């Protein structure tokens, strides 16, 4: 009896353990559930607006995304609050995953999402501090270029575009209402900033200013299969009507509305002049850069140390070779043609950067009507399911000024075009492909731009070195001024006095106005550069002769856009391994 009873108990224990094991999610279960969470999050993010969806995906139906309203989405204080409520729900979902049960790539993604959601949720109450309009990088300046680059793959794409374009007046009414809310809260921009935005609007408000949209529309129609000449003419006519009745009206409405709001913005001394200006500035830095430095004071100290170091290096080089200044003044990079430049850069980077096969790109030129409001060159990111469709715009207005080589290193190879194409090809997470940390992307482009001064481009090595140091030092000075004005409250007179050793009064005043209108604008470039440069120096010191530049660059590229606090953790493990 005893023996039989013991056997029955043991059998029950085995059955119970088996049932318990079957009821607990395994690592595979968690990883599958997280993959589903990522996919849902991705689909929801790219569906924020019809324009976002088009620029994210060439064929959204393959991803199961349909029936997205053909408009620009919502821009309002309430819309921003709704986004925070949505992210709080995502935070709760994310908390259900034991990160240690996820695979290595998922763990990185989970930590990035955790950081992003936390930062965005902490911005609650700061909605009206956000500024959608600015002279160079505001919605009113960037949207026409995005519309001109909107590719047509089918007849349905053309219809979607025309519906989208026709909603621009409603979208700009939303933005104007948001600006009125800012004015009511005492947070409207200064008259100087408003004038610059109004001037930007006026550049699109006549027939010449919008003609590039008419011409680009005709050119894009030629790529659509199956359209008859009569259908093309009808579409061209509809586009012209929408431009005249909706597009031009949108810019007129926005311009007139901003004119009426002038005088309600009393703060002329940067972000620190607002009640929660410091808090908002901290949010900007965390959301765009997420630096590894513990606070803004430490970040400022690192910037000042970096600028001093670069200036000392330059002074030592000039002391050793007094003729260097004259050589610098007369130095010229031997490449001027954009096609030749990109080909030379592609050959130049083969030794120290991971190989990227068959990277296709097209060079286009900024429409003449926009040359005054667009930079020397810029890169347009491709859709994630069509990563070979890269476009770089060149502004003919600046041709021959000697900076095209360095600019294309920044925008093209091994800068934005290279880093974007690399990540889209090599990372499997669609969600990761649409997450953006400006500090990472601009930091990488600034880092490789610094290297490009010493490529085989016709500059003497010493001249290239001093030009590179000077470029970074100037960015550093801009970032220091940015922090001192927008976070510590430095006024114009104090700025002119403080920076007199670096810049003349006119340059300081110009920079002062720029950082007031665009807080934290310099930081992604120079802080991102510093983070990458510091990691490289640490790797070189620890690995010695085992350091491999190609492997280091591969690590940075494989990480992709992420907070530097997370990149540094992964970097420590990479060096150890």
CA distance 509 to 500: 11
What six digits make up the tokens of 448? 């490789």
Element (H, E) at 1: none
Q: Report yes or no on 352 lying in a domain.
A: yes
Residue 547 lies in a domain: no
The verdict on residue 100 lying in a domain is no
∠ CA 81-87-91, nearest 5°, is 145
In this prediction, residue 20 carries a pLDDT of: 37
Residue 438 in any domain: the answer is yes
Residues 345, 454, single domain; the answer is yes
Residue 551 lies in a domain: no
Cβ contacts of residue 74 below 8 Å, gap of 6+? 174
DSSP state of 190: P
283 domain residue, yes or no:
yes
Helix axes 523-543, 438-452, angle to 10 degrees: 70
Q: How far, in Å, CA of 270 to CA of 549, rounded?
A: 40
Question: Within 13 Å and on the Cβ side, how many CA atoms surround 542?
Answer: 14
Distance CA 298, CA 363 (A): 41
Neighbour-count burial for 222-256, b at 16+ CB within 10 Å, e otherwise: eebeebeeeeeeebeebbeebbeebbbebbbbbbe
- Verify that 375 and 422 share a domain, yes or no: yes
| Number of domain units in the chain | 3
**Averaged pLDDT for residues 355-372:** 86
The reported pLDDT for the residue numbered 19 is 34
CB 314 within 8 A of CB 469: yes
Residues 319 and 248 in one domain: no
Contacts of 236 (CB under 8 A, 6+ apart): 214, 217, 218, 221
Helix count and strand count (H, E) for the chain: 26, 3
Structure confidence at residue 23 as a pLDDT band (50, 70, 90): low
Name the DSSP letter for residue 361. E
Is there a single domain that holds both residue 323 and residue 363? Answer: no
> Which of 266, 299, 318 is the last residue in one of the domains?
266
Whether the predicted pLDDT of 50 surpasses 90: yes
For the cut 70, the answer to whether the pLDDT of residue 350 exceeds it is yes
How high is the pLDDT of residue 22?
Answer: 47
pLDDT of 372 reads 77
Cβ burial of 142 (10 Å; 0-12, 13-18, 19+) is: middle
pLDDT grade for 500, boundaries at 50, 70 and 90: very high
Residues in contact with 437: Cβ distance below 8 Å, sequence separation at least 6, in sequence order: 288, 289, 290, 561, 562, 563
CA-closest candidate to residue 141, choices 127, 152, 131: 131
Q: What is the mean pLDDT of residues 303-331?
A: 96
Per-residue pLDDT band for 76 (boundaries 50, 70, 90) equals very high
The phi-psi region of residue 73 (left if phi > 0; otherwise alpha if psi is between -120 and 50; otherwise beta) is left
Spatial CA neighbour of 45 closest among 117, 140, 99, 102: 117
Examine the fold and report which residue of 508, 524, 540 is the final residue of a domain before the chain moves on: 524
Q: Is residue 357 predicted with pLDDT exceeding 90?
A: no
Q: Encoding tokens for residue 510?
A: 């110009």
Same domain, 317 and 386: no
Average pLDDT over residues 401-421: 95
User: Is 482 inside a domain boundary?
Assistant: yes
What pLDDT is stored for residue 563 in this prediction?
97
pLDDT bin (cut points 50, 70, 90) of residue 12 is very low
Both 451 and 467 in one domain: the answer is no
- Give the Cβ contact number of residue 376 at 10 Å: 20
SS3 224: coil
Q: Does an H or E element contain 520, and which? A: none
For the four alpha carbons of 464, 466, 467 and 468, in that order, the dihedral sign comes to: positive
- For the chain, what is the mean pLDDT? 92
Element (H, E) at 134: none
Model confidence pLDDT, tens digit, residues 364-407 = 998 887 787 778 999 999 999 999 889 999 999 988 778 999 99
Question: Quick check: 7 pLDDT over 60?
Answer: no
3-state secondary structure of 390: strand
Examine the domain organization and report whether 339 and 454 are in the same domain: yes
- The residue among 557, 532, 445, 428 whose CA lies nearest residue 106 is 428
What pTM did the predictor assign?
0.93
CA distance 546 to 524: 30
Distances (CA, A) of 54 to 3, 212, 572: 72, 20, 38
Does residue 342 share a domain with residue 415? yes
Burial tier of 263 (Cβ tally within 10 Å: 0-12, 13-18, 19+): exposed
Query: Tell me, what DSSP letter sits at residue 135?
Result: T
3-state helix, strand and coil shares in percent for the chain, rounded to the nearest 5: 70, 0, 30
Are both 448 and 340 inside the same structural domain? yes
Q: Distance between CA atoms of 108 and 87, rounded to whole angstroms?
A: 19
In this structure, what token pair is assigned to residue 449? 């731009």
Residue 24's pLDDT is: 64
For the beta sheet containing 361-365, the strands, ordered from the edge strand earlier in sequence to the opposite edge, are 361-365, 390-394, 377-380
Q: Would you state the structure tokens that stand for residue 172, as one six-digit string?
A: 């700009």
pLDDT at residue number 548? 97
- Residue 338 pLDDT greater than 60, yes or no: yes
Q: How do residues 106-146 score in pLDDT, each as one tens digit?
A: 999 999 999 999 999 999 999 999 999 998 789 999 999 89
Kindly indicate the confidence band of residue 1, based on its pLDDT and cuts at 50, 70 and 90. very low
Length of the chain: 577
Is 161 exposed, middle or buried (CB count within 10 Å of its CB: 0-12, 13-18, 19+)?
buried
Residue 293 contacts residue 305 (beta carbons within 8 Å): no
pLDDT tops 60 at residue 314 = yes
CA-nearest of 257, 267, 288 to 175 is 257
Q: Are residues 213 and 255 in the same domain?
A: yes
Annotate 252-264 with DSSP letters as a single string: HHHHHHHHHHTTS
- What's the pLDDT at 14? 32
Q: Which domain holds residue 147?
A: 139-266
Indicate whether 291 and 363 sit together in one domain: no
> Is residue 61 one of the residues assigned to a domain?
no
What percent of the chain is modeled with pLDDT above 90? Answer: 86
Same structural domain, 150 and 258: yes
Distance CA 123, CA 135 (A): 24
Q: Is the pLDDT of residue 39 over 60?
A: yes
pLDDT above 70 coverage of the chain, percent = 96
CA–CA distance, 517 with 189 (Å, rounded to integer):
8
Instruction: Check whether 571 has a pLDDT greater than 60.
Output: yes
User: Which of 221, 239, 266 marks a domain boundary?
Assistant: 266
Task: Report yes or no: 288 and 439 within 8 Å, Cβ to Cβ.
Answer: yes
> For residue 518, is it left (φ>0), alpha (ψ between -120 and 50) or beta?
beta
Residues 203-237 have pLDDT tens digits of 888 767 788 899 999 999 999 999 999 999 999 99
């Amino acid at each position: 009896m005893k023996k039989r009873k013991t056997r029955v108990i043991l059998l029950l224990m085995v059955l119970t353990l088996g049932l318990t094991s079957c009821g607990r999610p395994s690592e595979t279960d968690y990883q599958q559930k997280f993959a589903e969470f990522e996919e849902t999050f991705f689909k929801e993010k790219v569906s924020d607006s019809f324009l976002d969806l088009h620029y994210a995906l060439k064929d959204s139906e393959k991803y199961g995304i349909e029936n997205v309203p053909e408009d620009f989405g919502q821009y309002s204080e309430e819309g921003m609050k709704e986004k925070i409520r949505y992210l709080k729900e995502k935070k709760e979902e994310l908390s259900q995953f034991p990160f240690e049960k996820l695979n290595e790539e998922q763990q990185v993604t989970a930590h990035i999402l955790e950081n992003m959601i936390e930062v965005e949720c902490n911005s609650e109450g700061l909605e009206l501090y956000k500024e959608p309009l600015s002279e160079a990088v505001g919605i009113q300046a960037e949207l026409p270029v995005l519309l001109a680059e909107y590719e047509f793959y089918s007849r349905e794409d053309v219809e979607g575009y025309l519906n989208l374009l026709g909603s621009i007046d409603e979208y700009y009414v939303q933005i104007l209402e948001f600006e009125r809310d800012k004015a009511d809260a005492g947070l409207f921009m200064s008259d100087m900033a408003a004038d610059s935005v109004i001037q930007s609007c006026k550049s699109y408000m006549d027939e010449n200013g919008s003609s590039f949209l008419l011409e680009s529309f005709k050119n894009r129609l030629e790529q659509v299969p199956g359209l008859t000449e009569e259908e093309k003419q009808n579409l061209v006519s509809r586009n012209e009507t929408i431009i005249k009745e909706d597009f031009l009206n949108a810019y007129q409405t926005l311009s007139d509305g901003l004119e009426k709001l002038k005088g309600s913005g009393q703060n002329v001394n940067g972000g620190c002049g607002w009640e929660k200006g410091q808090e908002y500035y901290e949010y900007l830095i965390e959301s765009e850069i997420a630096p590894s430095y513990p606070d803004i004071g430490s970040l400022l100290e690192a910037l000042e140390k970096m600028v001093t170091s670069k200036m000392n290096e330059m002074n030592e080089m000039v002391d050793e070779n007094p003729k260097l200044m004259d050589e610098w003044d007369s130095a010229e990079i031997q490449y001027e043609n954009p096609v030749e430049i990109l080909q030379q850069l592609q050959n130049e980077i083969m030794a120290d950067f991971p190989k990227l096969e068959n990277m296709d790109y097209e060079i286009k030129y900024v429409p003449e009507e926009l040359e005054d409001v667009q930079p020397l060159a810029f890169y347009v990111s491709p859709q994630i399911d069509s990563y070979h469709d890269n476009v770089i715009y060149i502004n003919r207005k600046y041709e021959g000024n000697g900076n095209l080589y360095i600019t294309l290193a920044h925008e093209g190879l091994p800068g934005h075009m290279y880093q974007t194409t690399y990540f889209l090809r090599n990372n499997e997470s669609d969600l990761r492909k649409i997450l953006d940390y400006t500090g990472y992307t601009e930091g990488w482009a600034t880092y490789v731009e610094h290297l490009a001064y010493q490529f085989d481009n016709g500059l003497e090595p010493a001249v290239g070195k001093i030009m590179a140091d000077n470029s970074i030092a100037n960015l550093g000075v801009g970032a220091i001024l940015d922090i001192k004005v927008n976070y510590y409250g430095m006024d114009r007179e104090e700025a002119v006095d403080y920076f007199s050793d670096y810049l003349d009064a006119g340059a300081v005043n110009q920079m002062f106005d720029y950082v007031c209108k665009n807080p934290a604008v310099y930081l992604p470039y120079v802080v991102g550069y510093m983070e990458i440069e510091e990691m490289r120096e640490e790797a070189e010191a620890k690995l010695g002769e085992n350091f491999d530049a190609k492997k280091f660059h591969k690590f940075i590229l494989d990480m992709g856009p992420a907070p530097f606090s997370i990149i540094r953790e992964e970097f420590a493990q990479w060096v150890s391994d």
